[in-house]
């Protein structure tokens, strides 16, 4: 008999983490695996940020931090939100947590009653539905169309909302789609939300700085200031600042929401690492030019991988405007035979075939709520990315009707 609670049977461990772990295991066994499955930049954390952390250690800033974050970091976050997003928050309307992930979980755990629904546009970041379930709510998946660049339309949002809806989670730019909502797109969604005053918005802006083509980034509280009082603006240092391991994320919203989230954090993890927080002050206040430099590298890789994958038999791939992922359509491989006689019946089968036949790890679309697709992360060295795309082309060419 399992010790796990009934609640555990409703959720699953992150498939991306599981696939990455399997790829690492294969690599340790001496196989030349290329993992396109991890959601983290390959770039190292910039030196000034590392030095700020070392300074914090040397200066003894190593005690329990304040629950919602050191004042210096919360003030730096307020400056950032004002400077980059035109958003005015006070430090007591901000919480610092152990990564963006904990911000999302705290918000859901602090607000969901058993009957509450959370609208999650698909394809979605895998944690949203499972975190909703873990917090006792019900995820309502609203599929977005590839033809609309995987952006949810106002009509699709309207259809997904019920009297029980508590939150809309809007991830912009999107993981895994790379979709970017413009200010105009957000204004249209805001018009729907105005008709439903009971619905809150969780704006997951963690890929904010990874937008191509010089396109301005927009977030809901900025586009629709009248929704300020029911918006949680969430962001973090993991992606743009190459700080995935430092575990710093933050949320900004109405004081009562932040206080409820702080309560969850107080009885689970307490404040985020004091050392990482001091590094975070340097990240937000220091030189930002590396963000632009990294973006140029990401853009080059995006174009390379999208073109190569679009040429593969049975695949179709467009280059999206944001994040560092491609969401590749593999409908043309479904029903085909692998060289050893198996039949590809789903995107899960295709991902397994890629790993077995060509030692390339990708995450299948089913994990993101929209099939048949797979996600490629192009946040890895360009030569390895090119080699991986070559292998995928070869795997596709080896399939027969
Ligand atoms: C859409 C999205 N939100 C939040 C997170 C969480 O980021 P963090 O590593 O800061 O917890 C991720 C990380 O993959 C993500 O893709």
By mean pLDDT, which of 14-18, 286-290, 298-302, 351-355 is the weakest? 14-18
Three-class SS of residue 244?
helix
Paired with 377 in beta bridges are 325
Rounded to an integer, the average pLDDT of 55-69 is 98
Distance 361 CA to ligand 1 centre (A): 19
In this predicted model, what pLDDT tens digit does every residue of 286-336 receive, in sequence order? 999 999 999 999 999 999 999 999 999 999 999 999 999 999 999 999 999
CA-nearest residue for atom 14, ligand 1, is 39
In this predicted model, what pLDDT tens digit does every residue of 257-278 receive, in sequence order? 999 999 999 999 999 999 999 9
**pLDDT value at position 182?**
97
Paired with 142 in beta bridges are 121
Residue spans of the domains in the chain: they are: 7-44+290-397, 63-285
Q: Sorting pLDDT into bands at 50, 70 and 90, what band is 76?
A: very high
Indicate the fold that domain 7-44+290-397 takes in CATH.
Answer: 3.90.1150
CA-nearest residue for atom 13, ligand 1, is 39
Q: Sorting pLDDT into bands at 50, 70 and 90, what band is 17?
A: confident
Total H helices, total E strands in the chain: 13, 12
Say yes or no to pLDDT of 6 above 80. Answer: yes
Contact 361, 20 (CB under 8 A): yes
Angstrom distance (rounded) from CA 305 to CA 382: 9
Say yes or no to pLDDT of 13 above 80. Answer: no
Pick the CATH number of 63-285 from 2.102.10.10, 3.40.640.10, 3.40.30.10, 3.40.50.300: 3.40.640.10
Q: How wide is the angle at C-alpha 105 spanned by C-alphas 101 and 110, nearest 5°?
A: 150
Best residue among 181, 210, 236 to mutate for probing ligand 1, ranked by most atoms within 8 Å of CB: 236
**Token code pair at residue 260:** 């409820």
- Return the residue matching tokens 């400056």: 79
Q: Sorting pLDDT into bands at 50, 70 and 90, what band is 7?
A: confident
Question: Which residues have any ligand 1 atom within 6 Å of their CB?
Answer: 39, 99-101, 125, 171, 175, 204, 206, 236, 238, 244, 249
Contact 266, 44 (CB under 8 A): no
Angstrom distance (rounded) from CA 157 to CA 201: 12
Rounded to an integer, the average pLDDT of 154-167 is 98
Angstrom distance (rounded) from CA 158 to CA 323: 26
Q: What's the mean pLDDT when you consider all of the chain?
A: 96
Whole-prediction pTM value? 0.96
Distance 126 CA to ligand 1 centre (A): 10
In this predicted model, what pLDDT tens digit does every residue of 26-39 receive, in sequence order? 999 999 999 999 88
**pLDDT value at position 370?**
97
**pLDDT value at position 8?**
87
Say yes or no to pLDDT of 214 above 90. Answer: no
What is the radius of gyration, based on Cα positions, of the chain? 21
DSSP letter, residue 55: H
């Amino acid at each position: 008999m399992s010790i796990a609670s009934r609640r555990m049977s409703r959720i699953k461990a992150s498939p991306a983490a599981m696939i990455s772990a399997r790829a690492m295991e294969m690599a340790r066994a001496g196989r030349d695996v290329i993992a396109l499955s991890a959601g983290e930049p390959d770039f190292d954390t910039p030196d000034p940020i590392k030095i700020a952390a070392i300074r914090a250690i040397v200066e003894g800033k190593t005690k329990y931090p304040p629950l919602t974050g050191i004042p210096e970091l919360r003030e730096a976050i307020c400056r950032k939100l004002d400077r980059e997003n035109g958003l005015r928050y006070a430090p007591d309307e901000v919480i610092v947590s152990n990564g963006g992930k904990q911000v999302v979980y705290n918000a859901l755990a602090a607000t969901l009653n058993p009957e509450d629904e959370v609208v999650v546009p698909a394809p979605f970041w895998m944690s949203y539905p499972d975190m909703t379930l873990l917090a006792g709510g019900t995820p309502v998946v609203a599929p977005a169309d590839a033809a609309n660049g995987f952006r949810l339309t106002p009509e699709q949002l309207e259809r997904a909302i019920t009297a029980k809806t508590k939150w809309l989670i809007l991830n912009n730019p999107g993981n895994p789609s790379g979709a970017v909502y413009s200010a105009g797109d957000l204004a249209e969604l805001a018009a729907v939300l105005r008709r439903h005053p009971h619905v809150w918005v969780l704006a997951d802006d963690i890929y904010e700085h990874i937008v191509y083509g010089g396109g301005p980034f927009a977030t809901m509280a900025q586009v629709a200031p009248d929704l300020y009082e029911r918006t949680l603006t969430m962001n973090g240092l993991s992606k743009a600042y190459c700080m995935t391991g430092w575990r710093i994320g933050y949320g900004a919203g109405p004081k009562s929401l932040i206080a409820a989230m702080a309560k969850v954090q107080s009885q689970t993890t307490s404040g985020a690492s004091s050392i990482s927080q001091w590094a975070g002050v340097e990240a937000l206040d220091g030189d930002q030019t590396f963000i632009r430099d990294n973006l140029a590298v990401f853009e080059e890789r995006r174009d390379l991988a999208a073109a190569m994958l679009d040429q593969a038999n049975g695949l179709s791939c467009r280059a999206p405007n944001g994040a560092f992922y491609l969401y590749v359509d593999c409908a043309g491989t479904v029903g085909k035979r692998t060289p050893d006689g198996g039949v590809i019946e789903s995107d899960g089968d295709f991902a397994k075939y890629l790993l077995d036949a060509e030692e390339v790890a990708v995450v299948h679309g089913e994990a993101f709520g929209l099939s048949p697709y797979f996600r490629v992360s192009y946040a890895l060295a360009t030569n390895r990315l090119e080699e991986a795309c070559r292998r995928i082309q070869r795997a596709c060419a080896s399939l027969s009707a």
